[in-house]
Amino acid sequence: MEVCQMITVGVFDSGVGGKSVVNAIEAALPDIKIVYAEDKENVPYGTKNPDELYRLVLPILNMLSKQGCDVIIIACNTVTTTIIERLRLELPLPLIGIEPMVKPAAEMSKTGIIAMCATPTTLQSARYAWLKENYAKNIQVLEPDCSDWASLIETDQLDHEIIKSRIEEVCKKGADAIVLGCTHYHWIEHDIQMIADEYGAIVIQPEKPIIEQLKKVLSQLS
């Protein structure tokens, strides 16, 4: 697909997590301009409530809009699952969100057990509950404690043993599909997959589907 070089895509995340999404987009669509914005002063987002998130995120997205972005990718599961519809009411351009891949994981699972690695706010969101109700009715969804992962990844302090214990725990319980429901976790995807490989489990994250959705949106803009 040819994309006009004048197209500008904004990518937003609370911290370094979204940079993995930027890297994936740049590899797939090298001709577009990407503007990345993060909120390091307030990272992590995973324990904040929807009103706090809205107050923090809206000004940043408005800034990206004023910088000429044609579309914005919210590379944050926490923001997407809690306030993206509120944000869409305020922004004059398309917003593409990233949310936990419950449906693909449920469809892939042969054991009927999947694991969702996500932040506390994502796990408590109405959107996540809707995803489970609609796509994982007959699936057991394990939710290991990843509450401190984003902040530890942000500061490069995450201990491999912490990852190993949490992933081994869900694999031993039968999970054969492990979802990375926070873009910060993309940076440790290789480590997680190495552990999961020992149990025959797969690890999935949404970068490829997001790129496909971005292509669709860009084709509508051209």
List the catalytic residues. Answer: 76, 182
In sign, the C-alpha dihedral spanning 75, 79, 80, 83 is negative
Query: At residue 118, what are phi and psi to the nearest 5 degrees?
Result: -155, 170
- CA dihedral of residues 97, 56, 147, 210 (deg, nearest 10): 10
Both tokens of 67, joined, read: 């910088």
- CA 185, CA 193: separation in Å to the nearest integer? 11
- CA 79, CA 122: separation in Å to the nearest integer? 8
Burial class (CB in 10 A: 0-12, 13-18, 19+), 3: middle
Residue identified by tokens 């214990």 is: 165
CA 133 to chain centre: 20
